[in-house]
Each structure stands twice: as C-alpha cells, then as structure tokens.
C-alpha cells in the first residue's frame, strides 16, 4: 500500500442524497432531489473547491457537512465518525457575513469561544491573535455596520477560525464583495490557510477563484446534484497572484474546469 | 495590501456651532408654542379664566413643589406607569417567545383571538376589573398593564419570527442549544423590534394611567388634574397636564437611552433588513464616514443629544 492511499480521509461522503418533499395546493406532493448520490473524499489539510451550476445542491451539500441538514441516504464521515449534527469541529463562513449586528468585531470573533466557555482572559488572547491575522487591528470596537464588506468577511473568517475547528466550510464567502477586495481576500485566505492548515471546503460559482485557491476542484452536475469530475490543481504553492493569474498553466486549468462545467450544463 | 484601510481619518466631531443651531431649530416649535400660549392669555385672545397663561401654570407648579405634594404625585404616577410596563413585559415577552418559537401552531390558532382581545378597552370592563382586583393600587396597575401587554406581545412575535435566518444558521452551526440560541442570538436580535412595541406601550400606558387615576382618590397626577377640576382650580388642571406630558416624554427618552445601551446599532428602530445585504463598499474608502462623525450610531441618539439640555 503506498502512502497516498494509506492516508485516511478527513472527510468522506458516501452516497449522500438529499430530497425535499414539497406540498403544493393543486399539484399534490412533489419530491425534489437536490443531491443524487455524492461520493467525495477530502484529505486532512486539503483545500477543496466545489463549483457547479446553480441548483446543483452546492449549498445543500455544505449544510449537510455542517450538520444542519441530515442526508436522506448515505453518510458523512469526519475522521471516520459519522456526522449527526453540528459541532465546533467545523467552522462555517457564509456569503452574507452573518455577523451579529449588536456585537463588536472582537465580540463577534469571541462568540464561538463563549459558547465553548473559554475563560475571558484566554478569549481576549485568542481574539487578539485572529484580529491581527485578518488585519483588523484598530477595528476591535467597531460594530458590523461600521465596517466595509471586505472587513465584515474578515471578521466572519476570524470568528470561524477562533474556536479552532479542524474544518472550515465556506459557502460563496466572497460573492458579495467587489472584485478588487475579493482578490485581496483570496490572497489572505491562502496565507491564513497555509498558517493554520485547516481542511477547507470552499463553495464558489467562480471558476477562477476555485482554480486559484484549491488543491482540487470538485465539479458538480445538477438535477440531481452529483460530482461530475474532480480536477487536480497542480499549481505550486505558495501561489503568487501576480504571476499565477496570467500564467498559461492557470489558464489551461481554468479552461479545463469550464469545459467540464459546460458539459454539466447541457440538458441530458 | 493586506492592511485594511484606515477609518480614523475623517472629521472626528461635527463642529459645535451647526449642532447648536440645529438644536435651537428643533426646539423652536416648542418655544413658539410657549410664547403663543403666554401671549394668547395675557392679551386676552382667549379667556385667561379657562386658559391661564403659561407663567401662571408654572407658578402653580412651583407652589405645588413647595408644598411637597407634587413630588409624591409624580412618584405615584411614574411608579404605576413603570409597574404597568413591567407587568406587560413580564407577561408579553415570555408569552411571545413561547408562541413564536416553540408553539407555532398555537400561535396560528390564537392569533385572531389575541388580536380581538387586544381591542378590549379596560375601561369598558372597569366594573369587572374592580370586582377582580379591588379598588386599590392593583386595579390601576392591571388596567395599565393590560394595555401595555398587547403592543409588546405583537412586536415580540414579529421580532422573534423575523430574526435573520442567516444568524440562526450561524448559531446552529456552532452547536448552540435551544436555550443558548434564544439567549445569545434570538433575544439580542429581537431588541430593536421589541423596543418599538415597548415605546408604543409606554405611550398607551400614560393615556390609560391618567384616566385610571381619575377614578381613584389616592394621588397621582391624574388625581391632581381631576381634583383641580372638581375644585375649579383651573391652573392646577394645566399644571397636572403639563407634568403628565413631561413625564411621558421623559419615559420615552429613557426607553430610547435603554435601547441604545442594549442594542447599539444604527437604524435601531428599523426591524429586519440587516446591513449585511447592503451593496459592498469599494475597497478603499470607509463605507460610511458619518459613522465616525456621530460616536453613538443610533439615529435616535443624535436626536436625543441635540435635545438634551
């Protein structure tokens, strides 16, 4: 057995399906299948991006990973143990920031630590570290509405990292910020990921973002959602935005993912 | 590149002169009315027997203060109003929480009934209230509490059912128990909407209180007004009314201050629509320089600061 196959998966999805039952007044019951059998393995410390057409169940998949939805069939294993609900071994970052508007930057970051009953002086120490990590020194006492979109997302990221989860689940986290801020945040996310070595699952609708960030890109197909293909992104790290984004290797991979997505979009 | 842009730069403080002018402008309506009142009575545009001049009313207030009676009346009225509000809060907030969060079906069934019940005027049922609660303090506080319950209850229901789902999702993803979710997410997120109900309740409480005090004979500003009327002491009527107005206004301001303390965010009076969905600002400049111009961000706070003397 060689080293690669021997390495245990951090996260394993085994035939995960998810169906909703819709009841409409005149049409009776409808069963809508959002996910139709997803198999996926993620290695410890890996950065996996998930792309797919709208309605392919990307967000459902993330909800299931977070333990917020229960799969209709199949199972999710983390370190070989079945996921039965949410826990602090996973941190989530959502598109809409989801900051608590009545809490300052620091208080938002310390939220998960309060839930874990971390004593106050320790909370302070930890939040200081993450405030520095995301570059928000001097903004500790700001309320979310006093921050720009990019800064809010930094707070959300710091909040998810602060309680030290092993896995980071990110659902289109940079979709609501402008293009420039987005690139800055991507660079910073890579830097932080290299510092912290979390296992990351990053859902996005941007092919460029997926290729730039990830070790592998999982391409989903819709109706029902399933994994069409997983593309290895063998670009060397640390990734240098200025050179990488204009390189031929980057363009080729981007095209490869795009082609695969196009096939998925074709009606079958 | 990684550093966030500085927000420290923009003007720290609005200059005092324009703020003073704005405050003067805001008070000019009240001052104008006071002058008009004084003139109308002095120049006999209206009969001073029925509408004594403001100065006469103020002198009456001064006399009442000197006699020591006034403070007692004020304390009695304020005490009853606060007790009524507290009663409303203690019943309506837990009831709203239970109905909205844990028994949605019961809420569906009870909602029309509660809406009808809320329209019951305690004065039409005063004999019944008197039978149940006697003629003392209790009947006044329950009457007042009755009107306070409804706006607080309905706004609590709205507040709890309209908590931004993304905040609930965040809380649930951190494995919060239902209790923690309620205490750490749902209730704090409900504060701004809940306070709209509380402010409405505070207004109603004062209307009801004065009427309720006219029925009793044991003090309070409503009794003062009523007693003055019975004894043809017309300035006393105005003095009492003026004080009732000031007390109501004071309570309103107090609630705003409390809300600002509990939920220090801009547009606190606006329920839903979290700031999160606002179009993102461009990377460079701060999103809203005004945020640093007014240190306390509430829209209400700006008003309060200008009006406080």
Q: pLDDT class for B308, splitting at 50, 70, 90?
A: very low
Which residues 6+ apart lie within 8 Å of A263 measured at CB?
A228
Q: How far apart are CA B8 and CA A42, in angstroms?
A: 43
Interface of A with B in 82-121 (CB under 8 A): 85-88, 90-92, 94, 96-102, 111-112, 114-115
Q: Which residues of A touch B5 (CB under 8 A)?
A: 148
In the predicted structure, residue A24 carries a pLDDT above the cut 80: no
Q: Which residues of B touch A101 (CB under 8 A)?
A: 189, 265, 274-275
pLDDT for B113 equals 92
Q: How far apart are CA A201 and CA A220, in angstroms?
A: 14
Per-domain residue ranges of chain A: 3-89+165-265, 97-164
Q: How far apart are CA A27 and CA B190, in angstroms?
A: 37
Q: What is the mean pLDDT of residues A96-104?
A: 92
Interchain CB distance below 8 Å, A151 and B4:
yes
Partners of B117 in the β-ladder? none
pLDDT for B206 equals 85
End-to-end CA distance of chain A: 39
In the predicted structure, residue B154 carries a pLDDT above the cut 60: yes
Interchain CB distance below 8 Å, B189 and A101:
yes
Q: What is the mean pLDDT of residues B110-120?
A: 90
Interchain CB distance below 8 Å, B173 and A152:
no
pLDDT for A103 equals 94
Q: Which residue, chain included where needed, has tokens 């981007």?
A: A254
Q: How far apart are CA B127 and CA B143, in angstroms?
A: 11
Backbone angle region of B232, left / alpha / beta, with phi > 0 → left and psi within -120 to 50 → alpha: left
Query: What angle (nearest 5°) sits at the alpha carbon of residue A262, between those of residues A261 and A267?
Result: 110
Most confident of A55-64, A212-221, B6-15: A212-221
Q: Pick the residue with more confidence: B50 or A218?
A: A218
pLDDT for B216 equals 67
Tell me, yes or no, whether B25 lies in a domain: no
Q: Which residues of A touch B2 (CB under 8 A)?
A: 135, 184, 187-188, 191
ipTM rounded to 2 decimals = 0.88
Interchain CB distance below 8 Å, A146 and B291:
yes
Which residue in chain A has the smallest CA separation from B3? A135
Interchain CB distance below 8 Å, A96 and B191:
no
Interface test mutation site (partner A, options B173, B258, B291, max chain A beta carbons within 10 A): B173
- Tell me chain A's radius of gyration from C-alpha atoms: 19
Q: pLDDT class for B292, splitting at 50, 70, 90?
A: very low
Q: Which residues of B touch A172 (CB under 8 A)?
A: none
Q: What is the mean pLDDT of residues B199-221?
A: 84
Tell me, yes or no, whether B300 lies in a domain: no
Task: Provide the number of structural domains found in chain B.
Answer: 1
Q: How far apart are CA B152 and CA B272, in angstroms?
A: 17
Which residues 6+ apart lie within 8 Å of A135 measured at CB?
A154, A188, B2, B3, B4
Instruction: Locate A120 and state its tokens.
Output: 């106050």
Interchain CB distance below 8 Å, B184 and A115:
yes
One DSSP character per residue, A100-136 reads -TTS-HHHHHTHHHHHTT--HHHHHHHHHHHHHHTT-
Q: What is the mean pLDDT of residues B123-145?
A: 84
Q: How far apart are CA B304 and CA B307, in angstroms?
A: 5
Instruction: Convert the pLDDT of each residue in A233-243 to its tens digit.
Output: 999 888 888 88
Q: pLDDT class for B240, splitting at 50, 70, 90?
A: confident
Helices (H), chain A: 3-6, 58-66, 105-109, 111-115, 120-133, 149-162, 179-196, 207-213, 241-244, 248-265
Instruction: Convert the pLDDT of each residue in A134-178 to its tens digit.
Output: 999 999 999 999 999 999 999 999 999 999 999 999 999 998 888
Tell me, yes or no, whether B224 lies in a domain: yes
Which residues 6+ apart lie within 8 Å of A248 measured at CB?
none
Q: What is the mean pLDDT of residues A34-56?
A: 91
Tell me, yes or no, whether B305 lies in a domain: no
Q: How far apart are CA B265 and CA B22, in angstroms?
A: 23
Interchain CB distance below 8 Å, B169 and A68:
yes
Instruction: Give the pTM.
Output: 0.79
CATH number of this structure's domain A3-89+165-265: 3.40.50.300
Q: Which residues of A touch B169 (CB under 8 A)?
A: 68, 92, 94, 98
Q: pLDDT class for A259, splitting at 50, 70, 90?
A: very high
pLDDT for B276 equals 35
Q: Which residues of A touch B185 (CB under 8 A)?
A: 100
Strands (E), B196-282: none
In 3-state terms, what secondary structure has residue B165? helix
Work out the mean pLDDT of chain A and round it to a whole number: 89
Asked if A8 reaches chain B (Cβ–Cβ under 8 Å), the answer is no
Interchain CB distance below 8 Å, B173 and A147:
no
pLDDT for B131 equals 86
By mean pLDDT, which of A44-58, A84-98, B3-17, B42-56 is the weakest?
B3-17
pLDDT for B140 equals 86
Q: How far apart are CA B205 and CA B168, in angstroms?
A: 34
Q: How far apart are CA A50 and CA A62, in angstroms?
A: 10
Work out the mean pLDDT of chain B and round it to a whole number: 79
Q: Which residue, chain included where needed, has tokens 């005092």?
A: B16
| B108: containing domain | 71-262
Helix axis angle for B221-230 and B69-97, nearest 10°, is: 130
Q: Which of B6, B167, B280 is the closest to A149 by Cβ? A: B280
- For A51, the enclosing helix (H) or strand (E) is strand A47-51
Tell me, yes or no, whether B96 lies in a domain: yes
pLDDT for B119 equals 87
Q: Which residues of A touch B288 (CB under 8 A)?
A: 145-146
Q: What is the CATH number of the domain that holds B103?
A: 1.10.3720.10
Which residue in chain A has the smallest CA separation from B164? A98
Interchain CB distance below 8 Å, A184 and B282:
no
Asked if A176 reaches chain B (Cβ–Cβ under 8 Å), the answer is yes
Q: Which residues of A touch B287 (CB under 8 A)?
A: 146-149
Interchain CB distance below 8 Å, A92 and B170:
yes
Q: pLDDT class for B295, splitting at 50, 70, 90?
A: very low
Q: Which residues of A touch B170 (CB under 8 A)?
A: 92, 94, 98, 100
- For A76, the enclosing helix (H) or strand (E) is strand A73-78
Q: Pick the residue with more confidence: B259 or A23?
A: B259
């Amino acid at each position: 057995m060689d080293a690669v196959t021997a390495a245990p998966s951090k996260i394993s999805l085994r035939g995960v399906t998810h169906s909703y039952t819709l009841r409409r007044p005149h049409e009776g019951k409808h069963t809508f299948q959002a996910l139709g059998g997803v198999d996926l393995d993620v290695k410890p410390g890996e950065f996996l991006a998930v792309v797919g057409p709208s309605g392919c169940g990307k967000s459902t998949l993330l909800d299931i990973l977070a333990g917020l939805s229960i799969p209709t069939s199949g199972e999710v294993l983390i370190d070989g143990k079945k996921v039965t609900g949410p826990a602090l071994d996973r941190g989530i970052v959502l598109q809409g920031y989801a900051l608590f508007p009545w809490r300052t930057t620091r208080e938002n970051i310390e939220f998960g630590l309060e839930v874990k009953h971390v004593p106050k002086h320790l909370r302070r120490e930890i939040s200081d570290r993450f405030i520095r990590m995301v570059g928000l020194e001097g903004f500790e006492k700001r309320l979310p509405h006093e921050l720009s979109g990019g800064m809010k997302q930094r707070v959300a990221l710091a909040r998810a990292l602060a309680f030290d989860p092993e896995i980071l689940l990110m659902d289109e986290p940079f979709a609501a910020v402008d293009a420039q801020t987005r690139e800055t945040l991507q660079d910073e996310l890579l830097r932080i990921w290299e510092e912290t070595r979390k296992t990351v699952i990053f859902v996005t609708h941007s092919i460029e973002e997926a290729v730039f960030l990830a070790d592998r890109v999982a391409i989903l197909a819709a109706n029902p959602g399933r994994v069409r293909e997983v593309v290895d992104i063998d670009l060397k790290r640390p990734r240098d935005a200025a050179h990488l984004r204009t390189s031929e290797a980057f363009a080729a991979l981007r095209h490869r993912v795009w082609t695969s997505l196009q096939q998925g979009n074709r009606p079958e | 590149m990684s550093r966030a842009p500085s927000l420290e730069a923009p003007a720290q403080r609005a200059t005092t002169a324009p703020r003073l002018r704005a405050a003067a402008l805001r008070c000019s309506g009240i001052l104008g009315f006071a002058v008009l009142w004084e003139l109308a009575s002095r120049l006999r545009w209206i009969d001073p027997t029925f509408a004594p001049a403001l100065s006469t009313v103020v002198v009456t207030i001064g006399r009442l203060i000197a006699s020591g009676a006034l403070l007692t009346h004020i304390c009695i009225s304020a005490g009853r109003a606060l007790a009524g509000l507290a009663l409303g809060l203690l019943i309506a907030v837990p009831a709203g929480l239970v109905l909205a969060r844990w028994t949605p079906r019961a809420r569906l069934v009870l909602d029309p009934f509660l809406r009808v019940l809320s329209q019951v005027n305690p004065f039409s049922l005063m004999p019944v209230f008197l039978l149940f609660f006697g003629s003392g303090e209790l009947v006044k506080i329950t009457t007042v509490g009755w009107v306070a319950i409804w706006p607080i209850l309905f706004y609590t229901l709205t507040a709890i059912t309209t908590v931004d789902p993304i905040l609930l999702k965040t809380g649930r993803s951190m494995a919060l128990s239902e209790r923690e979710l309620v205490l750490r997410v749902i209730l704090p997120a409900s504060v701004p909407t809940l306070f709209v109900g509380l402010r409405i309740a505070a207004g109603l409480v004062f209307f009801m209180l004065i009427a309720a005090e006219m029925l009793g004979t044991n003090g309070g500003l409503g009794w003062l007004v009523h007693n003055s009327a019975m004894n043809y002491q017309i300035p006393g009527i105005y003095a009492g009314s003026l004080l009732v107005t000031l007390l109501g206004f004071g309570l309103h301001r107090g609630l705003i201050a409390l809300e600002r303390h509990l939920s220090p965010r801009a547009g606190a009076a606006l329920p839903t629509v979290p700031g999160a969905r606002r179009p993102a600002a461009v990377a460079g400049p701060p999103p809203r320089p005004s945020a640093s111009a007014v240190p306390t961000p509430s829209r209400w706070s700006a008003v309060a600061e200008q009006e406080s003397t």
